[in-house]
A and B are shown apart, each in its own frame.
Chain A
């Protein structure tokens, strides 16, 4: 197969399937049958394509170029695996509004495929924007009030984010046109303002505090498989945006590194703290995602601070992406399988949970190794490593909270094989990735640093249940959203009033019109009478004469 076909197939196939959905009967049934199995197509470019080769479609969009490159590779793998497994889950578990669900699903898939494979700025943005908008369909799928609200918040934030990113992209394009992504680093001067816009724009998708507001609202209301891909895969499209558009080595990017690092670590802790105050498992998971994305951000920050080491750190970032994506996806899938019903299911929940808490010998530990390597490369002080370990403690606490909540989920839902497959994938794939990329694993050295944070976490849990067993925090999901909604509600009214009053059209001259009409008719009536007419003639003559006399 030609490179073009290989690269186009993952993008076009979902779109074709989505188009088939529009035709009732056989085409629609066919589309729904095929839809779950399309994500693995993404593996094609990785497997068949040459990573250097770029397939050009010069007439499409603004000179579209497609190809698989190392930056997108981990996310591509994640997408192929996690999205595929979630699709399997969805194929049997989603019964309501299937056309809506699958259209959102397929278009999102096409979007993310394009974003992953596009090698030019416009193509990437096109894919990303499609993904953003289409995933809204997944969020509002339930069409409950809650879903609508989540959808609204998501949409507002996603659009704001996209527009911020768009502004930054415009800055790129204004300098270099629709440049190939691979040529971006070093060729563009993104004065810090613009890079901040891009970072913030994609940060919305990542859920970096304080841009995370949509995430805890959206993930709980979406159908289970949709939450899984939202939290597991789609959020990471933001990371892709950063890597693509503000690649390590960009001019002006290094100044933002330290700030991002602080933001990342802050997000890691804030996510945990806010998550601890939640009572619903999917919300807790959403906050956990936020927290984890903070960690991912800190790796990215480290790459920015050490651009020369960025290439070496990229596989580590891949490990983190795969690790979190697959494990978080399996945790979400768990939510749809009554995880509290049996021990086996409990185990299937515990494995990914432990992994995310970075327990020893889990993929989490592997990811933490990568993190430390990154921090080391960025030349950060030892204290940062300590902080990093403490995030594990925090995450463990959050997942303990999750675990307790999960144990109460004892519905009659059956377990789904896709769940099991996802858990297994979470166990295997990151390791395989790490080995495949020849990373130094430092297993033995990592054991103790992985263990003590968990021990502290256990201690804290123990102390808490001993000292104040009944004490819980309570915060609404989406925390700040509530106030913002109130504020913007009022502001909206005010803006509306201003808009209404603003220069609608020219003033109404009706009264003047009426008065003029009357005056004119009166005059005309008067001067039509012969004496007045004659007088007018004489008067006008007199006036003219007077004028000649005077001048």
Chain B
């Protein structure tokens, strides 16, 4: 019963995290959301195996420990990346048009040089 609550809570947090990760514009918010998700994950990892045979299992705890290390390093790295991005473009959001060339055709402009030959009906 308690484990069910934990699972539900974890799921809720995870959902919040996902939403934040995807929808927030600011990278900082995204990273916070990411950490939220990680917390939910760790919670789940601890809770779910335990609920199987009643007593704590060392393995998931070891896993979570490792996970936390990874989470910390990932977050740190992402923050560093964010800072560099911020320095480059003056704001800490992901540039919506990553590749202007990809969207070059959006305006109906023909970019390929072979266009003349190719389009002849």
Task: List chain A positions with a Cβ less than 8 A from chain B.
Answer: 508, 510, 521, 524-525, 528-531, 533-535, 538
Contact = CB atoms under 8 A, between A and B. Distances in A.
Given A525-B106, A528-B98, 13 more contacts: A508-B121, A510-B119, A510-B121, A524-B102, A525-B102, A528-B102, A529-B96, A530-B22, A531-B22, A533-B22, A534-B18, A534-B21, A535-B22
22 contacts: A508-B121, A510-B119, A510-B121, A521-B105, A521-B106, A524-B102, A525-B102, A525-B103, A525-B106, A528-B98, A528-B102, A529-B96, A530-B22, A530-B94, A531-B22, A531-B23, A533-B22, A534-B18, A534-B21, A534-B22, A535-B22, A538-B18
Interface in B97-112: 98, 102-103, 105-106
Contacts of A531: 22-23
Interface residues of B, number: 13
Nearest to B99: A528
A530 B21 CA distance: 9
Contacts of B18: 534, 538
- Which of B22, B94, B96, B98 has its CB near the most chain A CB atoms (within 10 A)? B22
Nearest to B21: A534
B37 to A, nearest CB: 11
A546 to B, nearest CB: 18
Contacts of A524: 102
> What DSSP secondary structure best describes chain B's contact surface?
helix
Contacts of A529: 96
A529 to B, nearest CB: 7
A279 B80 CA distance: 110
Interface in B73-113: 94, 96, 98, 102-103, 105-106
B44 to A, nearest CB: 16
Contacts of A521: 105-106
Interface string B24-54: 0000000000000000000000000000000
A535 B96 CA distance: 17
Nearest to B15: A538
A525 B96 CA distance: 10
A413 to B, nearest CB: 63
B100 to A, nearest CB: 12
B23 to A, nearest CB: 6
Contacts of B102: 524-525, 528
Contacts of A528: 98, 102
A539 to B, nearest CB: 12
A531 B121 CA distance: 39
